[in-house]
């Protein structure tokens, strides 16, 4: 028996096992690995535990896009493995019942800070309403977006619906769905605290969505794992403007049914946008 696994450390073995389950190994390495694993039960157990890790990462939405695609094409091709995914999903739900996830201290602190910020903002707005003359005229004007391909600053109201809401300073943005469309320009004025991004679904609606906003380098700038649809055709998320500097972004929303093994195969909803900061 060739010794493929022996010289490898834990991480390298894990990578090899995952490659096997995702059909990413060449035939020679596949056959060598199978021979070793079939000959030694302890290796089989380790490899099978790695399949559990992969399933758990999939269910937790922690797989990269390419891995997720391979998982859905290859791993979920077997009814036996789909059954296993369903079992681990149920086990995850049972675990949440017996050991509810504690709210981390950092999150609690974030909630307190958000409350404090909201109170301060409310007090400030009340003060400004009492002294309307003190509000700079520019801050009360609707923000206009440049059209695609046009120099920054030119208006394109058909692409970008902006309604300054003094009570919350949330800017409404309608994004065009689909990766084929060019990025929707989004001009953000200095006083805007958050964007409400509205995007039409690709495919049928799902009960909930995992939504991620990534920058051009692929870094996650914002995410939320349990977003209910705003209507039968569209999704809305509120993203803090502080999370978005100038540049290009992609919003990806994956429906719950897509993440589970038994749901209909619907493509994730994607929308691209370009942030332009305004004073």
Partner 1 sequence: VTSEAKWALTGEGLRRLLERLGSGPEESGPAYERLRLRLTDYFDWRGVSGPEAAADETLDRVARRLSEGEEVRQLRSYAYGVARHVLQERLREQAREEQAAESVRPSPGGRSAEEQERRLDCLVGCLAELTGEERELAIAYYRTSGPSPVQDRRGLAGRLGLSAGALRTRAHRLRHRLEGCLHACLQGREGR
Find the binder of partner 1 among 15, 64, 65, 94 (CB under 8 A): 94
Can residue 4 be called a binding residue for partner 1 (CB under 8 A)? Answer: no
- Give CA separation, 104 vs 22, 56, 142, 196, 220, in Å: 34, 21, 39, 26, 21
Among 93-101, 124-132, 197-205, 236-244, the segment contacting partner 1 (CB under 8 A): 93-101
Helix (H) or strand (E) holding 208: none
How far apart are alpha carbons 217 and 233 in whole angstroms? 29
Query: Residue 13 CB, nearest distance to partner 1 (Å)?
Result: 6
171 near 196, Cβ under 8 Å?
yes
Can residue 48 be called a binding residue for partner 1 (CB under 8 A)? Answer: yes
**Partner residues linked to 223 by β-bridges:** 212
DSSP state of 133: G
- Site residues for partner 1, 238-267, by CB under 8 A, read 261-262
How far apart are alpha carbons 36 and 38 in whole angstroms? 6
Among 95-103, 185-193, 201-209, 246-254, the segment contacting partner 1 (CB under 8 A): 95-103
Among 52-60, 130-138, 150-158, 245-253, the segment contacting partner 1 (CB under 8 A): 52-60
Comparing CA positions, the residue from 184, 192, 140, 198 lying closest to residue 275 is 184
Can residue 81 be called a binding residue for partner 1 (CB under 8 A)? Answer: yes
Rule CB under 8 A: which residues touch partner 1? 1, 10-11, 13-14, 20-21, 31, 34-35, 37-42, 44-50, 52-53, 56-57, 59-60, 62, 77-83, 86-99, 101, 225, 261-262
């Amino acid at each position: 028996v060739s010794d493929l696994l022996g010289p490898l450390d834990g991480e390298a073995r894990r990578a090899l096992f995952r490659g096997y389950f995702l059909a990413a190994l060449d035939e020679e390495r596949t056959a060598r690995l199978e021979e070793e694993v079939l000959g030694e039960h302890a290796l089989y157990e380790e490899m099978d535990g790695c399949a559990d890790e992969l399933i758990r990462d999939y269910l937790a939405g922690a797989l990269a896009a390419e891995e997720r695609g391979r998982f859905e094409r290859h791993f979920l091709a077997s009814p036996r493995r789909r059954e296993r995914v369903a079992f681990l999903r149920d086990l995850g739900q049972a675990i949440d019942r017996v050991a509810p996830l504690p709210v981390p201290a950092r999150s609690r602190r974030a909630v307190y800070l958000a409350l404090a910020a909201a109170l301060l903002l409310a007090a400030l707005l009340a003060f400004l309403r009492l002294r309307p003359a003190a509000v700079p005229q520019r801050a009360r004007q609707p923000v206009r977006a440049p059209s695609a391909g046009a120099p920054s600053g030119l208006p394109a109201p058909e692409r970008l619906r902006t309604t300054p809401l003094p009570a919350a300073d949330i800017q409404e943005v309608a994004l065009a769905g689909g990766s084929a469309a060019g990025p929707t320009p989004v001009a953000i004025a200095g006083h805007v605290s958050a964007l409400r991004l509205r995007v039409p679904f690709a495919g049928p609606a799902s009960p909930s969505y995992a939504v991620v906003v990534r920058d051009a380098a692929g870094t996650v700038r914002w995410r939320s794992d349990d977003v209910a649809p705003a209507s039968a055709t569209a999704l809305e998320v509120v993203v803090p403007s502080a999370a978005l500097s100038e540049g290009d972004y992609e919003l990806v929303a994956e429906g719950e049914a897509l993440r589970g093994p038994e749901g209909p195969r619907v493509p994730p909803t994607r929308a691209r946008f370009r942030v332009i900061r305004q004073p």
